[in-house]
């Protein structure tokens, strides 16, 4: 009895301490950023993530999500988002599209949007599990265009360096044929002449048209990112610049820019873009992110052929420079961010047969490693995986030349059933010779017709949830 | 001879002093703001203003613009605008529309835009006129929506006061019939219940639809202004609020808002709108303005009848509170602006016969005075006038019932010639009885076909230029 009292007193003290410490650590709030290169399925990903959490205790299948497996999740609710000036992520509209007859993929978002969830759970670590202490994790998910992440390296480049990078991209034959009059117009511009706003505006509009053409053709590494989604900057002079050619860069580096000249206007606009467009995004939003998901559509890049696949790899390389350990880590130096986990997810894993999914992860890994030789991040845990946020196909079997092979079954956009073997996924980046002899043709499936009140079917969203949230809801 | 040398020495010293003083006064830069209630012809006004200045020494007719009359203007040039993040005012595109066959009115602008002019002239005051000193005035013209000016009084109102104002507007029969389901939806909302984001979003979208209906019907006093031109705020929760009814305001004033309730969400959004949407515009832009032009389309209001005319008068009243002398001058207290001249211009003066133009000015004066009883502005010179930025009609004469009367000649949008007597303009605000017996029917003219390289024809733009610029280019 005496012992019991003593213990109880001790435990009360500990309990108090735990509460104080818990509040002090402020471990109750997690800012998750989700981005992806164009067409990678950001909207489907966030819709499914919210849906899995809302349905976690009911119809969702999340065996690898520990808080669910251990039956410690009380419930998840959507709450009013913290930043009232950001677009609300339209979860309900996305679900409406998926619930339509026939089901449609949700419309993709433009710009930045936000959703907040309250996750109530029972603690399961340290002493607190003896007291069945309830806890709340506030999860803020921010959705932003991958183009903005691709703009980050600009902060460390001057106009000449950036021009050289863009000009190199432009010189590939696949891009050059989309450039229209741009090269001719740019090369004939007299940089020393008095600034001609209308001429610069015209050349910039031709350059923007080239970027839009590249985007339609499936290229990812598009610079500057805001030219494609200008928003309220449409028509503003800050978007009226473009990269110079190597020859022009050399000429201009030998003489200073005369005040008011074309060269001077281009310089000033590039610098304004760095300071007033790129930087504010990182200061206002990126600084607060704790974890980052980057979605990558490897399959469309394979379908589109060598130039597009290499472009995707260069785009990944380009954005990895922002996270890389060492002197080139712009993020740490300029913004002191808190990101401690980074996940690269190859999306649309339901568009290959189950036996090919491990290859899809290996391919993504190979792209990331080939890009940077080795990924060294300072205190950032990194994972790559392959997911289907909303599984649109079923795996089946068929006999082909006397052997059992895996096939996929789904429907196309017109509702016609598809049964097919979509082909093998290479386990590493295909070499140039490979492309000469072979192409890829992965299918496009319509979304599944959802059963009433059922969670969205998925592939590996539970592992993603565990990686993002697992350690925060123990 | 001795005297001459002495004088010359003296004059040299003075000249030096004048230069130093001139630079110190920084009298070389003028920020002109142009706004107008919807459809008042802002784009035509700025286009004409730029055109008159560019053509001032050639084809423009500007007898009342002193710098031109005194032959002291060397030239005017368009230069790169200072704020690279603002849209460039598209003067060239407006001129293209006017030069098309047939001529079209330029497309109206949305949001904020800017144009910079360099005005080189010879000084004509003090001692400097003896030395034909050249001077430069930099004129920045900023075009912004009148709706933003109408949002200024919000900064001094809490949510309850603002709701009462809006509800009163809503109760007029002409507006009520445009409100659709809004009143029913709002009145059935449980303000004490837990905040329902989707319900508030829906009611706010019905309210926004009502505002858009009001705008299409020609009403001007629309609150909040950003609901009509949301820009990048589209879909953000900050725009998901609406005014409460008088009954709701009384109920809510008796109890505090429960955290997280519908009432609390509406309050928080209103306050976010004040702080994060309205205030930044005044801090970033309005603070710098030296002079303000407000364009008013009295004739369309007369055409639309009593409710619309009274609405326009209330809108003028509403925005005059911002400039008024005394304790209610929000502008001075919050933003310390430099505005020292304010001009109200009744636009489209070419749509009445010349003998009626003085009545148009009197009518505008009467609207302003009726609105505020007396205009008392602290150190702000105010003028009202009637102008045609681009004159679209010619005055002519006809015999009517044996008497000579003035008529207008022009063409309609289809190019058909119009010859008409558009009727008298009342010299003061018509009383209620007047509206029972009579209406107005002022015409709409297509723009004139411009002769090549000729300045745009106008009415009284030279007087406006003199009021805005005269004292700065002496």
Omega before residue A159 within 30° of 0, cis: no
Shared domain check, A139 and A13: yes
Q: What is the pLDDT of residue A5?
A: 42
Report whether pLDDT(A10) > 60: no
Highest mean pLDDT among A200-214, B27-41, B279-293: A200-214
Task: Centre a 10 Å sphere on the Cβ of residue B439 and count the other Cβ atoms it contains.
Answer: 12
Pick the last residue of a domain from A257, A281, A305. Answer: A281
Asked if B294 contacts B35 with a C-beta cutoff of 8 angstroms, the reply is yes
Shared domain check, B274 and B295: no
Mean pLDDT of B161-182: 94
Q: Does A259 touch chain B (CB under 8 A)?
A: no
Residue B130 placed within a domain: yes
Residues of A in contact with B198 (CB under 8 A): 92
Per the structure, the complete domain to which residue B107 belongs is given by 2-149+284-391+455-472
Q: What is the pLDDT of residue A127?
A: 58
| Spatial separation of the C-alpha atoms in residues B337 and B153, rounded to whole Å | 15
Going from the C-alpha of B69 to that of each of A349, B62, B78, B467, the distances in angstroms are 76, 8, 22, 14
Facing B87 at nearest CB: one of A84, A111, A235: A235
Shared domain check, B332 and B260: no
Shared domain check, B144 and B157: no
pLDDT in tens, A19-65: 434 433 445 899 999 999 878 999 999 999 999 999 999 999 999 99
Q: What is the pLDDT of residue A317?
A: 86
**Average pLDDT of chain A?**
87
Task: Centre a 10 Å sphere on the Cβ of residue A121 and count the other Cβ atoms it contains.
Answer: 22
Residue B411 placed within a domain: no
| pLDDT tier at B437, thresholds 50, 70, 90 | confident
Q: What is the pLDDT of residue A391?
A: 96
| DSSP-derived pairing of the beta strands A341-346 and A381-386 | parallel
Shared domain check, A121 and A53: yes
**Relative orientation angle of helices B262-272 and B197-216, to the nearest 10 degrees:** 50
Q: What is the pLDDT of residue A253?
A: 77
pLDDT in tens, B37-47: 878 999 999 99
Q: What is the pLDDT of residue A293?
A: 95
Asked if B264 contacts B258 with a C-beta cutoff of 8 angstroms, the reply is yes
Interface test with A, best of B236, B238, B271, B280 (most A CBs within 10 A): B236
Q: What is the pLDDT of residue B162?
A: 96
| Spatial separation of the C-alpha atoms in residues B150 and B317, rounded to whole Å | 10
Shared domain check, B382 and B269: no
pLDDT in tens, B49-96: 999 999 999 999 999 999 999 999 999 999 999 999 999 999 999 999
| Spatial separation of the C-alpha atoms in residues A390 and A377, rounded to whole Å | 30
| Spatial separation of the C-alpha atoms in residues B153 and A132, rounded to whole Å | 53
Residue B95 placed within a domain: yes
Residue A403 placed within a domain: no
Residue B297 placed within a domain: yes
Please compute Rg for chain B using Cα positions. 25
The CB-based long-range contact list for A58-64 (8 Å cut-off, 24+ gap) reads A58/A453, A58/A455, A59/A453, A59/A454, A59/A455, A60/A455, A61/A455, A61/A458, A61/A462, A62/A461, A62/A462, A62/A465, A63/A462, A64/A460, A64/A462, A64/A463, A64/A465, A64/A466
Shared domain check, A345 and A222: no
Pick the closest to residue A140 from A62, A46, A22 (CA basis).
A46
Pick the closest to residue A141 from A71, A262, A56, A42 (CA basis).
A42
Q: What is the pLDDT of residue A16?
A: 45
B88–A197 CB contact, under 8 Å: yes
pLDDT in tens, B209-261: 999 999 999 999 999 999 998 988 999 999 999 999 999 999 887 777 788 89
| pLDDT tier at B21, thresholds 50, 70, 90 | very low
Q: What is the pLDDT of residue A407?
A: 92
What is the length of chain B? 474
| Spatial separation of the C-alpha atoms in residues B162 and B153, rounded to whole Å | 9
Smallest Cα distance from A84 to chain B, Å: 5
Asked if A300 contacts A39 with a C-beta cutoff of 8 angstroms, the reply is yes
Higher pLDDT, B115 or A443: B115
Report whether pLDDT(B132) > 70: no
| Spatial separation of the C-alpha atoms in residues A312 and A341, rounded to whole Å | 22
pLDDT in tens, B453-466: 899 999 999 999 99
Report whether pLDDT(A355) > 80: yes
pLDDT in tens, A424-436: 999 999 988 888 8
| Spatial separation of the C-alpha atoms in residues A178 and A211, rounded to whole Å | 8
| Spatial separation of the C-alpha atoms in residues B237 and A86, rounded to whole Å | 7
Asked if A343 contacts A34 with a C-beta cutoff of 8 angstroms, the reply is no
| pLDDT tier at A441, thresholds 50, 70, 90 | confident
Q: What is the pLDDT of residue A44?
A: 97
| Spatial separation of the C-alpha atoms in residues B296 and B349, rounded to whole Å | 11
Q: Tell me which chain A residue has its CA closest to the CA of residue B89.
A: A235
DSSP of A232-297: GGTT-GGG---PPPHHHHHHHHHSPPPTTBHHHHHHHHHHHIIIIIIHHHHHHTGGG-SEEEEEE-
B406 - beta bridge partners? B397
Q: What is the pLDDT of residue A125?
A: 65
Highest mean pLDDT among A59-73, A244-258, B132-146: A59-73
Shared domain check, A140 and A15: yes
Q: What are phi and psi of A337, to 5 degrees?
A: -80, 170
pLDDT in tens, B372-392: 665 666 677 888 999 999 999
Q: What is the pLDDT of residue B274?
A: 96
Q: What is the pLDDT of residue B450?
A: 86
| Spatial separation of the C-alpha atoms in residues B264 and B266, rounded to whole Å | 5
- Split into its structural domains, chain A has a count of 2
Omega before residue B222 within 30° of 0, cis: no
Pick the last residue of a domain from B252, B281, B310. Answer: B281
Please compute Rg for chain A using Cα positions. 25
Report whether pLDDT(A378) > 80: no
Higher pLDDT, A130 or B365: B365
Asked if A133 contacts A123 with a C-beta cutoff of 8 angstroms, the reply is yes
Q: What is the pLDDT of residue B4?
A: 44
- Kindly provide the residue ranges of all beta strands, DSSP E only, lying in A18-122, ordered along the sequence: 29-36, 73-79, 87-88, 113-122
| Spatial separation of the C-alpha atoms in residues A320 and A338, rounded to whole Å | 16
| Spatial separation of the C-alpha atoms in residues A254 and B451, rounded to whole Å | 48
pLDDT-wise least confident of A439-443, B145-149, B160-164 = A439-443
Q: What is the pLDDT of residue B26?
A: 43
Residues of A in contact with B113 (CB under 8 A): 235
Report whether pLDDT(A153) > 60: yes
Interface test with B, best of A232, A241, A263, A264 (most B CBs within 10 A): A232
A84–B260 CB contact, under 8 Å: no
Facing B86 at nearest CB: one of A236, A260, A265: A236
Mean pLDDT of A162-181: 94
pLDDT in tens, A277-311: 999 988 888 888 999 999 999 999 999 999 999 99
Q: Does A237 touch chain B (CB under 8 A)?
A: yes
Going from the C-alpha of B253 to that of each of A276, B59, B223, B265, the distances in angstroms are 42, 63, 22, 15
| Spatial separation of the C-alpha atoms in residues B424 and B440, rounded to whole Å | 9
Residue B401 placed within a domain: no
- Kindly provide the ipTM of the predicted complex, given to two decimals: 0.81
Asked if A15 contacts A131 with a C-beta cutoff of 8 angstroms, the reply is yes
Q: What distance, in Å, lies between the first and last C-alpha atoms of chain A?
A: 33
Shared domain check, B320 and B256: no
Q: Tell me which chain A residue has its CA closest to the CA of residue B197.
A: A80
3-state secondary structure of A136: strand
Q: Does A414 touch chain B (CB under 8 A)?
A: no
- CATH number of the domain within which A136 lies: 3.40.50.300
Shared domain check, A157 and A119: no
B81–A113 CB contact, under 8 Å: no
Pick the closest to residue A149 from A31, A289, A268 (CA basis).
A289
Q: Does A236 touch chain B (CB under 8 A)?
A: yes
Shared domain check, B251 and B125: no
Residues of A in contact with B237 (CB under 8 A): 80-81, 84, 88
Q: Does A261 touch chain B (CB under 8 A)?
A: no
Q: What is the pLDDT of residue A64?
A: 96
Mean pLDDT of A184-188: 96
Q: Which residues contact B10 (CB under 8 A, 6 or more apart)?
A: none
Going from the C-alpha of B39 to that of each of A35, A152, B447, the distances in angstroms are 41, 41, 15
Residue B441 placed within a domain: no
Asked if B21 contacts B14 with a C-beta cutoff of 8 angstroms, the reply is no
Task: Centre a 10 Å sphere on the Cβ of residue B124 and count the other Cβ atoms it contains.
Answer: 16
pLDDT-wise least confident of A122-136, A443-457, B145-159, B346-360 = A122-136
Residues of A in contact with B280 (CB under 8 A): none
Shared domain check, A354 and A331: yes
Pick the last residue of a domain from B281, B312, B345. Answer: B281
Residues of A in contact with B260 (CB under 8 A): 80
Task: Centre a 10 Å sphere on the Cβ of residue A271 and count the other Cβ atoms it contains.
Answer: 15
| Spatial separation of the C-alpha atoms in residues B29 and B288, rounded to whole Å | 11
Q: Does B120 touch chain A (CB under 8 A)?
A: no
Confirm whether pTM is higher than 0.90: no
Residues of A in contact with B231 (CB under 8 A): 231-232
pLDDT in tens, A255-282: 777 888 999 999 999 999 999 999 998 8
Mean pLDDT of A110-127: 87
| pLDDT tier at A2, thresholds 50, 70, 90 | very low
Q: Does B326 touch chain A (CB under 8 A)?
A: no
Q: Does A80 touch chain B (CB under 8 A)?
A: yes
- Kindly provide the residue ranges of all beta strands, DSSP E only, lying in B224-373, ordered along the sequence: 291-296, 341-346
Q: How many whole angstroms from its chain centre is CA A175?
A: 24
Q: What is the pLDDT of residue A74?
A: 94
| pLDDT tier at A246, thresholds 50, 70, 90 | very high
Q: What is the pLDDT of residue B180?
A: 92
Q: What is the pLDDT of residue A37?
A: 80
Report whether pLDDT(B14) > 70: no
Report whether pLDDT(B335) > 80: no
Residue B444 placed within a domain: no
Smallest Cα distance from A85 to chain B, Å: 5
Report whether pLDDT(A6) > 60: no
Facing B197 at nearest CB: one of A80, A198, A277: A80
Share of chain B above pLDDT 90, in %: 64
Sign for the CA dihedral angle at A196, A197, A202, A204 comes to positive
pLDDT in tens, B251-285: 887 777 788 899 999 999 999 999 999 999 888 88
């Amino acid at each position: 009895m005496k012992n019991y009292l003593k213990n109880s007193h001790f435990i009360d003290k500990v309990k108090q301490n735990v509460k104080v410490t818990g509040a002090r650590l402020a471990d109750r709030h997690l800012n998750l950023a989700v981005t992806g290169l164009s067409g990678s399925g950001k909207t489907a990903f966030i819709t499914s993530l919210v849906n899995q959490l809302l349905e976690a205790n009911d119809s969702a299948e999340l065996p690898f999500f520990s808080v669910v497996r251990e039956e410690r999740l009380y419930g998840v609710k959507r709450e009013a988002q913290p930043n009232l000036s950001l677009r609300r992520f339209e979860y309900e509209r996305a679900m409406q599209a998926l619930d339509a007859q026939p089901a449609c993929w949700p419309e993709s978002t433009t710009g930045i949007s936000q959703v907040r969830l309250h996750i109530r759970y029972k603690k399961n670590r340290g002493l607190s599990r003896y007291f069945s202490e309830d806890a709340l994790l506030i999860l803020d998910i921010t959705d932003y265009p991958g183009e903005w992440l691709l703009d980050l390296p600009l902060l460390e480049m001057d106009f000449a360096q950036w021009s050289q990078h863009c000009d190199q991209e432009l010189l590939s034959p696949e891009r050059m044929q989309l450039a229209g009059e741009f090269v001719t117009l740019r090369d004939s511009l007299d940089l020393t002449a008095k600034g001609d706003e209308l001429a610069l505006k015209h050349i910039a509009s031709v350059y923007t048209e080239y970027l839009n053409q590249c985007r339609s053709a499936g290229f990812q590494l598009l610079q500057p990112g805001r030219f494609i989604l200008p928003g309220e900057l449409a028509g503003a002079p800050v978007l009226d610049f473009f990269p110079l050619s190597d020859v022009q860069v050399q000429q201009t580096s030998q003489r200073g820019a005369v005040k008011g000249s074309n060269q001077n206007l281009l310089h000033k606009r590039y610098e304004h873009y760095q300071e007033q467009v790129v930087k504010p995004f990182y200061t206002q939003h990126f600084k607060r992110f704790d974890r980052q998901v980057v979605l990558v559509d490897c399959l469309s890049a394979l379908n589109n052929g060598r130039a597009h696949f290499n472009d995707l790899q260069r785009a990944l390389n380009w954005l990895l420079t922002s996270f890389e350990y060492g002197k080139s880590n712009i993020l740490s130096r300029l913004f002191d961010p808190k990101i401690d986990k980074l996940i690269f997810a190859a999306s649309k894993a339901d568009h290959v047969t189950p036996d090919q999914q491990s290859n899809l992860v290996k391919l993504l890994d190979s792209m990331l490693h080939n890009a940077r030789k080795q990924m060294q991040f300072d205190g950032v845990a990194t994972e790559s995986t392959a997911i289907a946020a909303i599984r649109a196909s079923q795996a089946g079997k068929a006999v082909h030349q006397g052997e059992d092979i895996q096939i996929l079954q789904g429907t196309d956009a017109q509702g016609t059933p598809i049964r097919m073997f979509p082909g093998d996924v290479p386990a590493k980046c295909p070499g140039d010779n490979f492309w000469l002899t072979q192409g890829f043709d992965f299918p496009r499936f319509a979304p599944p017709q959802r059963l009433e009140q059922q969670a969205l079917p998925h592939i590996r969203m539970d592992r993603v949830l565990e990686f993002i949230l697992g350690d925060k809801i123990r």
